[in-house]
Every structure is written in C-alpha cells, then in structure tokens.
Structure 1
Amino acid sequence: MADTTNPLIAPSPLPYYLPPFADIADEHYEPAFDAGMRAHLDEIRAITSNADEPTFENTMIPLERAGQILHRVATVFFNKSSSDSSETTNALEEEIAPRLAAHDDAIMLDAALYARVRAVAQSADTLDDESRYLVERYLAEFEHAGANLDDDGKERLRAFNQTLSTLTTRFEKNLLADTNDLAVLVTDVEELDGLSEGEIASLAAAARERGIDDAYLITLVLPTGHPVLASLTSRTLRHRIMEASRARGRRGGPYDNRELVLEITRLRAQRARLLGFNSHAEYVTAEQTAKSPEAVSRMLGQLAPPAARNARAEQAALQEIVDEHESEPFAIEAHDWAFYSERVRQATYDVDTQAMRPYFEAERVLRDGVFFAATKLYGMTFTERHDLMAYHPDARVFEVHNEDGTELGLYILDLYTRDSKRGGAWMNPLVSQSTLLGLPPVVVNNLNVPKPPAGSPTLLSFDEVNTFFHEFGHALHGLFAHVTYPKFSGTNVFRDFVEFPSQVNEMWMLWPEVLENYAVHHRTGEPLPADLVEKIQASSAFDEGHSTSEYLAAALLDQAWHRITADDAVGDVESFEADALADVGLDNPAVPTRYSSTYFAHTFSGGYDAGYYSYIWSEVLDADTVEWFEENGGLTRENGDRFRRLLLGVGGSTDPLEAYRAFRGRDAVIEPLLSRRGLEH
C-alpha cells in the first residue's frame, strides 16, 4: 500500500486533526507503523549527523518535532485495540509490541543523541524555564533508560524490553478473553431478584448480543467486586459472580496468566539490576515524585493498620445483620459484603444507593452535571458534532470552546461496555496539544456502562457517576494543556501525580449546585430528595475501611511483586500473594484485594507497574485541594481559573510538586485524606 493512500500517514484534514476514522481500516495500521518508525529514525539520524555544535535549536527542537507519523498511528491504533479490538488488532498488537520496544531503544540508547542532549544540558541555564526543564527531563530519561550502559549492557537491555513488551501485551489479551469467557449466564430471571427492570433488560440485551435468547448475561468488570453484588438477593448467584471474577487468569488453559506474572516480575527485577537498581520498584519510583519505594511503604504503612481495623469493625456490623435477620446465619464472605453493606447503610443512614439510579440518567449526568460543573468552573462550553465520526458508533464527539468563544479542542465520550473493549475506565489523547507543532487537544473518555435496550434510558449507579466525573477530570487535564512542547502536554506528568486532577474533579459530583442541576428523576422530573443528599454526605466515610483496605491490598501487592530482587526466586503466584497480604495485615478473606495478580491489568499491562500506589499518593493532594476549594468559595470562575492556570494547564512542563505549592501556597498535608477515609484515629 503506497503511503499516499494510507490515511494515517499524512496529518488529518479534519477539524482539530481528528483522525479520519471513516477512512481507516485495519490493514492501514501495520504499514503506517512501518512508515512511522522509518521516518522517526531518519529524523533522529538527521539530528545526530549534524556537524554543528549541539544547541537547543538544532537538537531539542527537532527531537520534539520528530516521530509525528509514528505518534499519530500509535495513538489511533492503541485507542482502537483497547476500546474496540478485533482479531486483527489483537494479532498486530502482539506482533508490533516488541518492534516498538526495539524502536524506542534505538532512540533512547543512541549514544550520539544522548551526547548531544548532554552537551545542550551544560548550557541550559540560559534557556527559559520550560525549555530548560525539557532538557533536564530528556537527560534524566535517557540515563534512566540505560543510555549510560556499555554496548553489551544495551544489548541485554534491548532483549529485556522486547520480551517484556510481548509478555505484557499477552497478559492484557488473555485477560480480555478470559473476562469474556467467564461472564455469568443466568437462565432464570428469578435469580436476578433485587435488580431493577432496567438492569435486567440490559443483561438480556448483553446475552442477545452473543446470540443467546431468553437468558441474561452478567459481564465481569475489571475489579474483583461487581456492582450487582450490592443488589442481588440470591447468595448463590453472588457467589458465582465472585468466583468467576477471581478465577480470571488462573484456571489453566490458554488464558492463564500465572506464568506470565512470574516471568514479567522476574525480568523486571533483572532489568532493574542491569540499570543499577535493587528492584523494579526502586527503578520506577526514582523517576516519580515518591523517589523511593521506602517513601511509598511509609505512606501506605501509615494507612494500612487503621484501614484493616475499620474493615474488621464494619465486618462485625455486617455479621450482626446476618445473625439477626437470616433464618440460617452464616459467616460473612467476600460475595456477601456489598449486599449487606447496603443493608447497614440503609439501617444506619437510611441511604439506598441503588434507589438513586432513576435520578442518574446518563445524558443528564453528562450535560447537566459533568459539563455544567466545567462551565461554571472554567467557562468552557460543549457542542455535539454529529458531522464528525469517531472510531465506533457509540462514541460521540463534542467540540469544546473557551468562555470567550475561542476553540479549545474535541472531547470524545465512549460510554458503553462491549466484548471488544477492555475493562475499567480511562482517558487517552488522540491529539496532544503543543504550540510548537500547532496542535489542539483531542481526548477520549472510555467507561464500561451496560447498554440498555433501544429506547430505554441509561441509568447510572452512584459509583458510575463518580467514575464519570473522575475520568472527565483526566479529560480536562488534556483539554487545558497549554504548553510549547508535546512532551509536556496534558497528562504527560509523573505517574504518581496523574490521578490528582481526576480525583479533584470527583468533588463536583455531590456539590449542591451541581447535584441539584442533574440529579432529577428521569420519569417524574422530581429532584433527588434533599434529605437523601444530606444522608449521602453524612455517610461519606461509610464502608471506607473496606474500600481503603481492598485498594491498599492491591497497592501493596503491586509493591511486593516489584520489590523482589534478581536473586529472589518466586515459584507460585497464589502463595506469594497470600504471604504479601499477610505481611501487611490485609489478608482478610472477606475483603479481597481489588485486583488479584492474574487480572491486575494496571500493573502487568497498564503502565502502573510499581505505581498503583499513585491513586492514594495523589489523593493526599486531592483531599488538600478540596479543602482549599471549600475554604475559598467552591465552584467559582476565579477558583477554576487559578486551578487551570497553575496546575491543569502546565501539564508536565514543571515539577508537579512545585506547581502544587504555587497553587496551594504550601506543601500538601495528609490530615484531610485521613479525615475523608475515617482513618484519623
């Protein structure tokens, strides 16, 4: 296929450089990858072959301009493979992963390029702040990636990187396949007692999509728990769902991930030693705000004991409900927790989160909640562009403008789950803002909400609304990028800082002015009762022992896997996991880890390896920021402009903790987080 016929080669002619999805077919990806890698290497050779003395203008500027074709095809392809995969994209992703790893190494281990960057760094003090920081970051990343190794070391590193890229891709594909394979099929509607008519209709539609009539399909979500567990009265079905969820990747057969977990962690440890670190966790955190696994352990260790204590107290309360109300009492197990937790919540606070679904119709949540809060805070407006096509019929395109009417970028929402989409929720850019390249931002939010039958409303759960606001916080981070260099655009920040803007945006979900604008019964038009809102606020720390414990268990498990050294021999995934959780006091069978090793996509295929601690690390900043908003008038344009200018807009162009100090006037303190999660005592 000639390059001129490939829609991924040239810049898109569409508004905001939106990829021309109508013209892109699966057969375009591989030749575009090939062309992109060739062009990128040619651009790097042009830099390193320049006989002139290295300067910022002849080294860093062309380095930032290089690789645009490859970046273009990679963003489109990996968005496609994660949100609407096919047999073709799955096969290509496994085939292309080691080639991309080799390509990255060809650049990051290029001795001549490293020497030029190092030479520029010696005179970087004459540059403006963003340009100087660009040089600092490149130099640090070259050295972190192994540019200082000798030729033999570089060759060994290349082998590690290519093998790991293949293994992590295989882990993700195994997980998607096993998740689909383990979906729970129900043939008797009476087993679904406790679910609403709309939820049952969605399960029937999911079964029909797989060609199964007169049945109901409960597809699995990424975490261990499942939203329907809070409502299903059938303990047998709850048990089936939990067992299916926990079986992913560990039941033998072609999708078993246990050997991959052992091999990935072993190779990461060996690679870390080659690069001069004791463990992969030490290697990763050295380039994050945490700086060391010991700092991570200190913070997580401060939280784990009170979280486990609170979870045990919550478990005792649940057991009392069972002992008092069940004709044949039983010990609370993991699949019972959400169901009886809702009963305790109702008894203690008179709050039934499932009864709130009729007030959370998706379109109102989007327009009158998520968009409304953004307009009030930042002045931005949204217009759906039906003339612009996204990558899937369910994905919708919105044009975003600033308050003064100037164009800002595009926002794409892909709300619904499907078998071709990986689990969870996420944001990713399709076009990253850069004034150097003249590019505006185009960002995508993916969620996994069950799609109702045609003509029925999409009613969201309380948690799904929270996730919506969270992911839109990531989208804002991308949309508000205002940087010169593409390296710093939007969410291109340290991993343990990237969750901070998204977590802050969650606060607007229950902000009175926002909530009363979108939380309206989809049939009657009645607002969510005021007394229920008060009860929600009063119960905000309810069940935090459980939720904090399951999260910390996953974060500490991630750390345990990545603190092993090249000398450690781990032979059994289940035993290692059990020992790791026991060591930190989070081995309560009724409170399983949010992600078990074999379906822990964040750490074994999602880029959060040794970094899953990032969520609560960022939440320290988030809770402190929420306190600032509350102290300074909340949802105001002045507050929004300050947050946008000092934090969201700068992306990765400055040290994130320095940016936070500029916004807050001081470093963050942990007390607001402890109070939020009920851990202060």
Structure 2
Amino acid sequence: MTNPFLEPSSLPYGLPPFAEIRDEHYEPAFERGMEEQLEELEQITGNQDEPTFENTLVPLERSGQTLARVAHVFFNESSSDSDDFTNDLEERMAPKLAAHEDAIKLNADLYARVRTLHEAADSLDLGAEQQYLIERWHTEMTLAGASLSDADKEVLREYNASLSTLTTRFEKNLLADTNDLAVVFDDASELDGLTLGELSAAEQAAKERGLEGKYLVTLVLPTGHPFLASLTNRESRRRIMEASRQRGRRGNEHDNRQLVLEITRLRAKRARLLGFESHAAFVTADETARTPEAVADMLGRLAPPAARNALVEQEGLQRLIGDGFELEAHDWAFYREKVRAATYDVDTAAMRPYFEAERVLQDGVFHAATKLYGITFTERDDLVAYHPDARVFEVRNEDGSPLGLYVYDLYTRDSKRGGAWMNPLISQNELLGHPTVVVNNLNVPKPAPGEPTLLTYDEVNTLFHEFGHALHGLFAQVVYPKFSGTNVFRDFVEFPSQVNEMWMLWPEILENYAVHHETGEPLPKDMVERLDAAKQYGEGFATSEYLAAALLDQAWHAIDADAEVHDVEAFEDGALRSVGLDNPAVPTRYSSTYFAHIFSGGYSAGYYSYIWSEVLDADTVEWFKDNGGLTRENGDRFRERLLGVGGKKNPLEAYRDFRGREADIQPLLDRRGLN
C-alpha cells in the first residue's frame, strides 16, 4: 500500500492529496513520522563535533517532515469532520505524541548543544533570525523541563501524557454533548422571529437527523445563541439557553466536570515541578504579558466599569419589560435588540438580507485584501479539499507570483467542533522550500438546497476576523519552520485578525458587498450610520461576559498544586463573585465544562489574549484612520512590518517597528466605553 503521507505531495502548493487519503493511512504515518524524527534527533546528538548553528539547529528544523504532514491533515480532519475513527485514533495518539514531544524537548544531549549555542550566541556570526531561533529553542526547552533531573523528567512525562489524553477526551465529550443537546421544535410557530433562511436551515438540520417535519436548533460554542436575539417565544429562548449551559454537566458519559478538576490539578502539579507557582505563571512566562500579575492588573482595571455598564444596560432592559417578569439571561439579547431599535433605530437582523455569503466572501473579504495588499483569488475547482463543502482558492501577489492556497469551509455539521478558526495545512519556510496552505472553518447553518446563505452581522464579522488569521499565515515569510505563519506568542496571535475586522464596515468595502440578495439595492447608508452611533450600546454585556470567561480561566490556572477543589460550579461562582461578574443575567461567555479554548485548545491561562491583543488592534485601527485608511501604502507597511514577520522576531518589537511607539490603551477604552 502506498501511503500518501510518506512523500511530499505533488499537487500545486503541496496541497495534501485528500482524494487518496484513507483512514488506514493515518496511524502508520504517525508511527513512521515519530520514528524518523527520533532517528534525525540521534544524528544531531550523536555528532561529536562542537555544536554549531549548522550542525544542530538547521537539522533540528529540518526534522519531522513526515510527522508534520500527517499531523496537520489529521488534526484538521478531527476538528472539522470527525467521526468514530478520528475520535478513537486521536485519543490513542494523544499520549504518544505528547511523549514524542517530550523526547525532543527533554533530551539532555540536545539541550546541552542548544545551551552551548545560546551562551555563545553573541560571538557567533549569525543573522537576526538565526539568533532569535537559538533564543526560542533555548527558552522553550528550558520551560519544557529540559534542565530537570531524570527522575523529575519521568514524572513530567507522566503528567504530559495524562494531560494530552484528558484534554482530547474533553473535546470529544463536548462535541457529543453539543450534538445531543441540539433543541428540537415541533412547530415553526415556536421559532417565530427567525428568517425564512434560518427556518430552512433548522428544518434541514432536523431532516439530516431523520426528524421529518420538525426543526432542529444546533448549539454554538459560546453560552449565548444568535437566535436568542430574534425569537419572540420566551420559552423557546429559555430552552436554547438552558441546553447551551447544560453541556458537559449532565451526569452522563459526556460530563466534563471531573475532567476540568483533573486537568487543572495536573497542570498545577506540572507547573510546580517546573518551578512555577501556578500554571498561569508557567504560561505567561513565555508570552508578552510575562506574569499573571500583569494580566490580573489589566483585567482588574476593566472588570468594574464593564460590570457597571452592564448593570445600567440591564436596568434599561427591565424598564422596557416592566413588571411582567424579571429579565433573565435568555431574555437579554432579545430585549437588547428592542432597545437598540427603539433608541438608535438599529436592527441588525434587518441587515441579514444584505449579507449573502458568497458576496460577502468575494466582494467583501477578498476585495478588501485586494485593495489593501494587491493580492488576488481564483477558485481552483480542480483541487479537492477534505470535505465537499470545503473550497480551494489560489492566492497570488499583485505581480502574479504565487502566494498560497486558501481553503474555505463555511457550514456547520455534526462532525465539526463549534466556533471558528484557522488551521495551517502547510506553512511557508525557505529552509524546506514550503509554500502556504491555510484553512478557515466557520459554523454557519446550511439552508436547504436552492436557498441563499444569509449571514448574520456577527457571522460577517467572524469571517473577516478569521480571514485576518489566514492573511497572517499567507503573508509570513521566514527561513525556519519554527517561525512559520501564526507561530507567535499566544497573546499576540489575535491581533492581526482583530485588525482585519475593521474592513467589514469600511465604506468602500461595505458598499461593494452589502447589497440586498433579491433586489440588488445597497445597504442603506443611514442604517450603517445608526449602527455606528449605537456602537457602544451593549458593550457592558459584551465586555462583562468576555471578562468573566477570561478571569475564570485565570482563576482555574492560578490554583497551586496543593489546592483542594471538588465542586466545579462552586468554584465558578466564587471566582466570578470575587471580581464582581456574578450577575445571573450576564453569564460568562464560556462555562468551565464547555470552555474548549482552555480545556482542549491552546488557550489555557491565555484566554485574556483577545483583549490583550485588542489594545494593539484598537491602536492600529487609529493609525490606519489617521494615515488614509485603505491604501496600498498602508497595506504594504502592515504586511511588511507585522504580518510578513511571522514569528521571527519578538512581536512587540515588530509592533514598535510598525507603529513607531508602544501601543496606547486609550483607543480600547474608548471603543468599549470603559473610560
């Protein structure tokens, strides 16, 4: 049997040959890939010559190509189109891959060579990227535990293996419980307030599960659901919110509460073994924040005004409701839209007919990138992606030179995890001669055949955001694989994507894509003006629900190794009460049992990253506005000094190079009404 992972793909841009890949190819490729990389490692450490950059770091960066090929494809598959096979294999491979990573980063002989180079780095005749590569390998290996005793390394390996299994199980439990808790409605009248397209999607989702004549509302990753803003039936809103908040805590086989306790306890033990007071201290030591105290200082400054603003909003909603009933979490979005409509004459639901998905993509997202960076997009129907709904686009520079491939996967399905994200399938680097292939995944309900896909305001914003990640991956031009694409500090990685959101409502972009899907009429300018006038309304709720999640993440990961936590709900309540964000009407964006970012993703002790990056984002938006906005000159500067840097220099240094100074927090405070 020929295994397509064992050799580089011959397809354009090295696109994986998805048409040839079968389930039986994955495990042998994983095993072969790990074996090959360990052999490559032995050749480095067995070299008796004095360590040099060329005989140590260059072969280290070249190693593991088979493993990288299979891992990128498999983990994209397991998140975007999972099944029993991928779930089982991922759980079995998780501890093996954790052990493999430990075999590299805890290797004493390799660490000795890297340390020698690190100590002599200033005297070596190396370029800036080479110098930084030495620094990063030394820092990562040190933090990973390379200097521990053999006995402590053995304990560390056990912790890492267990954590890899537990976090994988958390994700699988969450997906299964999210699917199980999708809410079934018997009659369309229960979904009054939804558009015909939304009803069509709910009917189609029910049909796909064999529920003819019914309507199925699938759950999104956050606590709140987009439908809550428009459903007139209060009981329907309550059912959806209740289902969302039950995920992972129903006492069934998908209950995640015990996993939350085990994961946080093991992370705390690992941190102490590595010399840190907490997992949060361990994580932030290698981020731009540097310490949990710096994170706490920023979040602590924002939480009180956010909570106060949310309370003012709540009082206004209650006045609208009157004495009929007390506002609850499932009512907030519905009555917020009523206030927004009454006070500002803004109805974001009325914008939906102007946001036809294909037009948003081609004439909005792609058009903005062409205007700003000169790049062009051509769909490649001849190239097969990993799922029939996933589409492949070739991206070229203004001069026609190739840049990479962009894979676009819009629709939700039971096999896809919640949320929206960007994955690299191949990342550019000169050392290996690799081009770039990136994937954007979203979770938009798919209407029945023949019906248009109309996006919500938030879904349009999400698409612009995720495409910002894709641009970061496409533009990064580096020599070494470690610095490819979005391989930057976690609390910096959201910055480019947040900046890209600004083009959604930029006048010349908006007028190019926001036209009524039936009449062709443009989105009324006064509607956008009213939206701008109301932009701070609702920020109290939005900031509070986000900060509640960020502070909950910090609380879980601030516990020390001796802490005794037995009750997830009690811990959550105490953590939110301590920062004044325990308002029942404003639930945390993610509760612990479905907080995938921190318990199965890469954001543990790092969910603060979004607002940390938003300081840079808001400051950058001000720079664009002050310097002429959407111009090629501005785009080239942002691409050259930030997006194109990848991870090859300290990101704050790259930001200073772009902005000419440190970021100012004032634009963020202005944006969110937190002055």
Residue aligning to 1:233: 232
TM-aligned CA deviation for residue 536 of structure 1 = 1.1
Q: SS state of the match for residue 398, structure 2? A: coil
Match for residue 242 of structure 1?
241
The offset of 1:8, in angstroms, is 1.0
Query: Which letter does structure 2 place at the counterpart of 1:286?
Result: A
Q: Among residues 60, 78, 89, which one is paired with 2:57 in the alignment?
A: 60
Match of 2:94 in 1: 97
Q: Does 1:18 align with 2:12?
A: no
Say if 2:528 is the partner of 1:529.
no
Q: Which residue of 1 is the match for residue 399 of structure 2? A: 404
1:42 matches 2:39: yes
1:214 counterpart residue number: 213
> Which residue is equivalent to 1:465?
460
Residue 122 of structure 1 deviates from its aligned partner by: 2.5
CA separation in 2, counterparts of 1:402 and 1:559? Answer: 42
- What displacement does 1:550 show? 0.1
1:262-301 paired onto structure 2 within 5 Å: 262-301=261-300
1:154 lines up with 2:153 in the alignment: yes
CA contact (8 A) 1:249 1:255 kept: yes
TM-score by length of 1: 0.98
Q: Determine the structure 2 residue equivalent to 1:606.
A: 601
Q: Amino acid of the residue matched to residue 53 of structure 2?
A: F
Alignment of structure 1 residues 322-341 onto 2, 5 Å: 322-323=321-322, 329-341=324-336
Q: How does 1:547-558 map to 2 (within 5 A)?
A: 547-558=542-553
Aligned to 2:181: 182
Distance 1:233 1:534 in 2: 27
1:473-523 CA-partner distances (Å, limit 9, x unpaired): 000000001000110011000000000000000000000010000000000
Letter matched to residue 270 of structure 2: R
Cα contact 1:433–1:489 (8 A) shared by 2: yes
Code of the residue aligned with 1:603 in structure 2: it is: I
Does residue 619 in structure 1 map to residue 607 in structure 2? no
CA distance in 1, matches of 2:530, 2:655: 33
Aligned to 2:370: 375
Whole-angstrom CA distance in 1 between matches of 2:199 and 2:5: 41
- 1:415 and 1:465 map into 2 onto residues whose CA distance is 11
Aligned mates of 1:316, 1:541 — CA distance in 2? 16
8 Å CA contact 1:554–1:593 kept in 2: the answer is yes
Q: Which amino acid aligns with 1:18?
A: L
Q: Paired residues, what number?
A: 673
What runs of 5+ residues in structure 2 fail to find an aligned partner?
Answer: none
Is it true that 1:395 corresponds to 2:390 in the alignment?
yes
The alpha carbon displacement at 1:450 in A equals: 0.2
Q: Deviations over 1:217-271 (max 9, x none)?
A: 0000000000000000000010000000000000101000000000000000000
Distance 1:186 1:122 in 2: 66
From 468, 480, 483, the equivalent of 1:485 is: 480
Aligned residue in 2 for 1:202: 201
Name the aligned partner's letter for residue 8 of structure 1: F
* Distance (Å, rounded) in 2 between the aligned partners of 1:215 and 1:491: 43
Offset of 1:123 from its aligned partner?
Answer: 2.6
TM-score, length of structure 2 as denominator length: 0.99
Determine the structure 1 residue equivalent to 2:169.
170
Q: What is the aligned partner in structure 1 of residue 426 from structure 2?
A: 431
1:311 equivalent in structure 2: 310
Paired with 1:63 and 1:537, the residues of 2 have a C-alpha distance of 51
Task: Output the CA distance in 1 between the equivalents of 2:562 and 2:98.
Answer: 25
- Verify the 8 A CA contact 1:474 1:491 in the aligned structure 2: yes
One-letter code of the match for 2:311?
R
> Which residue pairs with 2:254 in the alignment?
255
Aligned mates of 2:210, 2:383 — CA distance in 1: 31
1:193 corresponds to 2:192: yes
Contact 1:402 1:408 survives alignment (8 Å): yes
SS in 1 for 2:509: helix
What is the DSSP-based 3-state SS (H/G/I as helix, E as strand, rest coil) of the residue aligned with 1:498?
helix
The one-letter code sitting in structure 1 at the alignment partner of 2:444 is V
Q: Which of residues 507, 517, 522 in structure 1 aligns to 2:512? A: 517
Match of 1:118 in 2: 115
**8 Å Cα contact 1:382/1:398 also seen in 2:** yes
Q: Distance in 1 between matches of 2:83 and 2:77?
A: 9
Superposition deviation, residue 606 in structure 1: 0.5
Query: 1 CA distance for matches of 2:441 and 2:281?
Result: 31
* Structure 1 position 618, deviation (Å): 0.2
Structure 1 residues not aligned, in runs of 5+: none
Match in the other structure for 1:145: 144
Structure 1 residue 541, shift from structure 2 partner: 1.1
Q: Deviations over 1:36-56 (max 9, x none)?
A: 000010000010011111100
Residue aligned with 2:493, SS: coil
- Secondary structure at the counterpart of residue 623 of structure 2: helix
Cα offset for 1:124?
2.0
1:592 maps to what in 2? Answer: 587
Instruction: Name the structure 1 match of 2:29.
Output: 32
Q: What is the identity, as a one-letter code, of the residue corresponding to 1:642?
A: R
* Aligned equivalents of 1:441, 1:119: Cα separation in 2: 33
**Contact conserved, 1:441 with 1:481, CA < 8 A, in 2?**
no
Instruction: Report the equivalent of 2:575.
Output: 580
The CA deviation at 1:567 is 1.3
Match of 1:69 in 2: 66
* Identical-pair percentage: 73
Q: Hey, what's the Cα distance between the residues in 2 that align with 1:467 and 1:43?
A: 41
Distance 1:124 1:136 in 2: 9
Q: Is the 8 A contact 1:429 1:444 kept in 2?
A: yes
